[in-house]
Structure 1
Amino acid sequence: MKARQVGAILLIAGSGIVLNTSQAQQQMEMHGITRTDLQRHDLSIPGQEAVQTRVDFAPGAAFSMHRHPGEEIVYVLEGSIEYEVEGQPPQIINAGGVLFIPAMVPHAAKNVGNVTAAEVGTYVVEKGKPLVELVSEIR
Structure 2
Amino acid sequence: MIAAALIAGAGLSLTAAQAQQQQIQRTDLVQSDISVAEREVLQVRVDFEPGAVSINHTHPGEEVAYVLEGVLEYQLEGSQPVTLKAGESLFIPAGVAHLAKNVGNGKASELATYIVKKAAPLVVPVK
Shorter-chain TM-score range: 0.7 to 0.9
Relative to total residues, which structure has the larger helix share, 1 or 2? 2
Percent identity over the alignment is 52
Q: What TM-score do the two structures reach when normalised by structure 1?
A: 0.77
User: How many residue pairs end up in the alignment?
Assistant: 111
Match runs of 1:26-105 below 5 Å:
30-105=21-96
Q: How does 1:6-17 map to 2 (within 5 A)?
A: none
TM-score by length of 2: 0.84
Distance 1:86 1:121, change over 3 A: same
List runs of 5+ in structure 2 lacking aligned partners.
1-16
- Distance in 1 separating the partners of 2:88 and 2:81: 15
Of 90, 93, 109, which aligns to 1:118? 109
Q: Deviations over 1:87-113 (max 9, x none)?
A: 110010100000000001000000001
Report the residue type matching 1:58 in the other structure: E
Q: Which has the larger radius of gyration?
A: 2
Which range moves more in the overlay, 27-36 or 79-88? 27-36
Deviation at 1:28, TM superposition (A): 7.9
Q: Which amino acid aligns with 1:66?
A: H
Superposition CA RMSD, Å:
1.4
TM-superposed CA distance for 1:30, in Å, is 2.9
Give, in angstroms, the shift of residue 64 of structure 1: 1.8
Cα pair 1:42 1:50 within 8 Å, conserved? yes
